[in-house]
Structure 1
Amino acid sequence: MRWKGRRQSSNIEDRRGRTFGRSGNVRLPGGSRRIGGKSGGGISAIILLVVGYFVLQYLGIDPAILLSEGGLSPSIERVEPSGGEQLSPQRQDEMTQFVATVLAETEDTWAMLFSASGVRYSEPTLVLFEGRVSSACGRASSATGPFYCPGDQKIYIDLAFYNELANRFGAAGDFAQAYVIAHEVGHHVQNLIGVLPEFNRVRRSLSKSEENQMSVRVELQADCFAGIWAHHTQQKGLVEKGDIEEALNVAHQVGDDTIQLRARGYVVPESFNHGTSEQRTNWFARGFDSGRTADCDTFDGEV
């Protein structure tokens, strides 16, 4: 990716080196949540909501929900701490500049798309941390992986995760790393247009199986939004040979089936809450091919 020398976002909050606070509870993406009674009505409601947003109103942004808050959104990663190699100070500085540049590119892309619908894009903040961190969604550790918290509209990442991505997941490359940021920004977009607030509302009435199925649709839409960002980044001439393959590879490596096979040697489909490798690569590719949010309606039909 041709990123050096380009604008860097000022929406970076560097908490590295800080001590960990004492209040709150850890809530990990994709972890256990409150399970309510079985009800198909909640699923129908969110499908109708999103179809209305994406089909009838293109971006379908409702200003009334821009300040809505929900629980911790699912992250694309579920890794265990490995005590792996930490980034050197020089590498830390380079990666800080890199993620600030990628964040700036996502800002430009989504500001343009929101503006086309007559709405101002509210930019998220990216928080850099080491080890553990407190957010409006509770506490989390580096083992959580990068995540987005709708409660404070911030993305959290320990840059050492990129070592895990390359060494344990076999997903190296700067565009693979950019995909991670673009995916979490995709969750922010979902928060602004009402998808995350509605999901967090209806999941209280869903069974665990229904909640997992809905979570998969949420995650795949964030993958598609990451593809939209890649589409517009390519139009700027910033995508180099092999970049899209890097993004498709990381989407494959973090599929539920691939992660479970790697960790336990078998898969449990009913526990999937992020999507299979095939689904994740397909939806990223769909967003990349079209560059249109209307093509990212994962709530309409099969995924």
Structure 2
Amino acid sequence: MEWRGRRGSSNIEDRRGQGRAAGGPAVGGIGALVLLLVGAYFGVDVSGLIEAEAPGRASTSTPAALSPADQEAGNFVSVVLADTEEVWTTVFLDQVGDRYRPPVLVLYRDVTRSPCGGASGATGPFYCPSDQKIYLDTAFFATMAQDLGAGGDFAAAYVVAHEVAHHVQNQIGILGQAHAARSRAGATEVNAISVRVELQADCLSGIWARGAEAMFGTLEAGDVEEAVNAAHRIGDDTLQRNAGRVPMPHTFTHGTSAQRARWFLRGYDSGDMGQCDTFAVRRL
């Protein structure tokens, strides 16, 4: 993906220079980190998954300088976010007949706060509907490449695009409807609704990839394959199998590897939001 030297987004809130707050959530060894990433990866409602700072615990912060790698990661995310803004502005005008209102993306390091709970690098990136912000610790990109086998700049771009897709869902009312449905459902049904939400976000991510390719011509050979590989690597069945467990479909919250890759490609191939209606199909 050609991204250097291109326009970045102004909708970035960079908290990384604030340092780490004492008393924040602790992160265990790498095995625990990966399991936590699996649990919250690309989630929507993370309030029950993220440990907030203990009430009454004092918090201090030490400013920390950004390394060249930090700065490059921030620039990369800013460019990808800018691309999503342009693509979704066009798609909303053409297919929704409404104005797209872009989210703010919060860059943080180690820990930060959100209305959906305290965020840490162990939770993975997430979208918080309460403040319509995306929360991302860019160290997650290294974890993707090293521990999940999903390397490459376009795999990282897919992470950003997937969270932006949750914002798209929020703007068109899907997240509100899904939340209402979950409040009336049992545990298995709640998981099934979550799967449809996540697969729709994968499909919308594919629409973004198609739009970015058409509008900017910045995709390179192998980029789409990187995104498909990332979608495949974080399927519920693959993650459970890699954790030494027998896959249990009734516990799935994000969809199988095959489903995630298929729905991403469905969006990429069609460019049509109508093709991303995971709630209208029997077979996912």
Q: 1:22 Cα deviation (Å)?
A: 8.3
Match of 1:95 in 2: 73
Give the whole-Å Cα distance in 1 for the aligned partners of 2:229 and 2:256.
Answer: 13
Q: 1:110: Cα distance to partner?
A: 0.5
Q: What residue number does 1:259 align with? A: 239
What is the Cα deviation at residue 90 of structure 1?
A: 1.1
Give the residue type in structure 2 aligned to 1:213.
A
Partner of 1:47: none
1:150 matched residue in structure 2: 129
1:295 aligns with 2:266: no
Unpaired segments ≥5 residues, structure 2: 25-35, 50-65
Report the Cα offset of residue 290 of structure 1.
Answer: 0.8
Which consecutive residues of structure 1, in runs of 5 or more, have no partner in the other structure? Answer: 33-71, 79-87
Secondary structure of residue in 1 paired with 2:16: coil
Q: Where does residue 10 of structure 1 map in the other structure?
A: 10
Q: Is the 8 A contact 2:38 2:239 kept in 1?
A: no
Deviates more, 1:249-258 or 1:235-244: 235-244
Provide the residue aligned with 1:177 in structure 2: 156
1:78-157 matched pairs, under 5 angstroms: 89-116=67-94, 117-157=96-136
User: SS of the counterpart of 1:2?
Assistant: coil
Q: CA separation of 1:193/1:22 partners in 2, compared to 1, >3 Å: closer, same or farther?
A: farther
Q: Which amino acid aligns with 2:44?
A: S
Residues 1:296 and 1:183: Cα distance change in structure 2 (over 3 Å): same
Q: TM-score, normalised by structure 1?
A: 0.78
Q: 1:277 to 1:271 in 2, by over 3 A?
A: same
Identity of aligned residues (%): 51
Which secondary structure does the structure 2 equivalent of 1:273 belong to?
A: coil
Report the AA paired with residue 122 of structure 1: R
Mapped to 1, the partners of 2:11 and 2:155 lie a distance apart of: 21
Kindly indicate whether the alpha-carbon contact (under 8 Å) linking 1:95 and 1:159 is maintained by their aligned counterparts in 2. yes
Displacement of 1:20 in angstroms is: 3.8
Query: Does the aligned pair in 2 maintain the 1:172–1:246 contact within 8 Å?
Result: yes
User: Would you say the 8 A contact 2:192–2:253 is kept in 1?
Assistant: yes
Match of 2:140 among 145, 161, 183: 161
Q: How many angstroms apart in 1 are the aligned matches of 2:102 and 2:247?
A: 37
Any conservation in 2 of the 1:173–1:246 contact (CA below 8 Å)? yes
CA 1:104 to 1:231, structure 2 compared with 1: closer, same or farther past 3 Å?
A: same
| Alpha-carbon distance in structure 2 between the residues aligned to 1:158 and 1:2 | 22
User: Do 2:210 and 2:268's aligned partners in 1 also have CA atoms closer than 8 Å?
Assistant: yes
Contact 2:15–2:109 (Cα < 8 Å) also in 1: yes
Letter aligned with residue 6 of structure 1: R
CA distance in 1: counterparts of 2:87 and 2:115, whole angstroms: 26
Whether the aligned pair in 1 keeps the contact of 2:37 and 2:122 (CA below 8 Å) is no
Number of equivalences:
251
CA distance in 1, matches of 2:124, 2:12: 18
* Equivalent position of 1:226 in the other structure: 205
Could you report, residue by residue, the CA deviation over 1:164-188 in whole angstroms, capped at 9, with x for unpaired residues? 0000011110000000000000000
2: distance between equivalents of 1:238 and 1:30? 30
1:73 aligned onto 2:44: yes
Which whole-Å CA distance do the structure 2 matches of 1:7 and 1:31 have between them?
34
Over residues 186-243 of structure 1, what are the superposed CA-to-partner deviations in whole Å (9 max), with x where a residue is unaligned?
0000000001011112211100000000100000000000000000111131110000
Alignment-mate amino acid for residue 69 of structure 2: R
Looking at structure 1, the residues matched to 113 and 244 of structure 2 have their Cα atoms a distance apart, in angstroms, of: 30
Alpha-carbon distance between aligned partners in 2 of 1:199 and 1:29, rounded to the nearest angstrom = 23
Change (3 A) 1:255 1:31: closer
Distance (whole Å) between structure 2 residues aligned to residue 89 and residue 183 of structure 1: 26
CA distance in 2, matches of 1:12, 1:295: 30
Deviation track 1:18-51 (CA, whole Å, cap 9, x = no partner) reads 354989xxxx99969xxxxxxxxxxxxxxxxxxx
Hey, what does 2:217 align to over in structure 1? Answer: 237
Structure 1 residues 205, 31: CA separation in 2 closer, same or farther (over 3 Å shift)? farther
